């Protein structure tokens, strides 16, 4: 049994890279829905239907545990999936909670009431659909009080990253940071609320300035998954060989993925 990792495109490879290094003896199946990327400009029903189809494809590969390594899917589809759609013997986890637990200085699985935290002013950079869902603010409110969140929808950044246009991606990141800072001049922390954005982390940090703590998800998700598998060993299964599936053109996606992770990644047609 492998652990499934799903993203609308290539961004979830940042999560795959981190979890595969943290759990080198664990097999993973990565599914990129590149044919329908980006999800960040789609409506909630569309995102829900596409995400469910992708998760079912990962179940076909024997992945009873699936990580939605896509903030848009985590924000717009996960709660509805868990409440109305998910069979009792399957698990689908999102990528928001480990990030919020780190921001609010909580241990994994701490379900105590919300409390005051050190960070009061948080900048959230995410896709338009993630921002519109307000899922980050909802999850944060379960754990912390008195935190001001200013969200910036970062249109165009995922497209630029997916097509390998680093110059455009850098220009867009700087523009979005400037737009947010006009509304929140002095954020204490910044959340990169899309798994594509760690590839632009240095650009975000440079635009925000050295005094802003930038939180990226991949390593936090890896630690959370490692902890989850200790508590739920039935989802681990044998095998260490990973597999990569795409709804897009496998040759093209493989080329971009290899550039992305700077090591050879070979995708197969889903």
**Which tokens belong to 60?**
């076909």
- Residue 267 and residue 245: Cα distance in Å, rounded? 5
**List 52, 63, 154, 194, catalytic entry:** 194
Helix axes of 13-22 and 218-231: crossing angle, nearest 10 degrees: 50
Known catalytic residue at 70: yes
The residue behind tokens 């490692």 is 226
Largest CA distance in the chain: 51
Q: What is the CA radius of gyration of the chain?
A: 18
Q: Please name which of 66, 26, 22 lies closest in space to residue 238, comparing C-alpha atoms.
A: 26
Question: Do 82 and 20 touch, CB atoms closer than 8 A?
Answer: no
Residues found in the chain: 270
- Residue 214 and residue 177: Cα distance in Å, rounded? 12
- Residue 147 and residue 100: Cα distance in Å, rounded? 12
- Which positions are annotated as active-site residues? 70, 194
């Amino acid at each position: 049994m492998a652990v499934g990792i799903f993203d609308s495109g290539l961004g979830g490879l940042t999560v795959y890279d981190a979890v595969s290094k943290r759990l080198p003896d664990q097999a993973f199946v990565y599914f990129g829905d590149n044919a329908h990327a980006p999800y960040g400009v789609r409506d909630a029903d569309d995102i829900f239907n596409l995400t469910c189809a992708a998760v079912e494809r990962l179940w076909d590969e024997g992945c009873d545990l699936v990580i939605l390594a896509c903030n848009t899917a985590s924000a717009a589809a996960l709660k509805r999936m868990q409440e109305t759609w998910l069979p009792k013997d399957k698990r689908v986890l999102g990528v928001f909670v480990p990030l919020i637990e780190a921001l609010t200085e909580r241990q994994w699985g701490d379900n105590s009431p919300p409390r005051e935290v050190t960070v009061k002013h948080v900048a959230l950079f995410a896709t338009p659909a993630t921002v519109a869902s307000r899922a980050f603010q909802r999850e944060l409110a379960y754990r912390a009080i008195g935190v001001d969140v200013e969200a910036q929808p970062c249109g165009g950044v995922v497209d630029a990253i997916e097509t390998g246009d680093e110059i455009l991606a850098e220009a867009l990141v700087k523009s979005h940071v400037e737009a947010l800072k006009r509304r929140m001049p002095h954020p204490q922390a910044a959340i990169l609320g899309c798994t594509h954005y760690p590839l632009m982390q240095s650009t975000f940090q440079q635009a925000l300035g050295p005094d802003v703590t930038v939180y990226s998800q991949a390593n936090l998700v890896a630690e959370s998954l490692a902890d989850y598998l200790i508590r739920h060993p039935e989802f681990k299964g044998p095998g260490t060989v990973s597999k990569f599936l795409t709804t897009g053109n496998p040759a093209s996606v493989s080329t971009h993925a290899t550039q992305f992770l700077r090591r050879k990644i070979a995708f197969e047609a889903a």
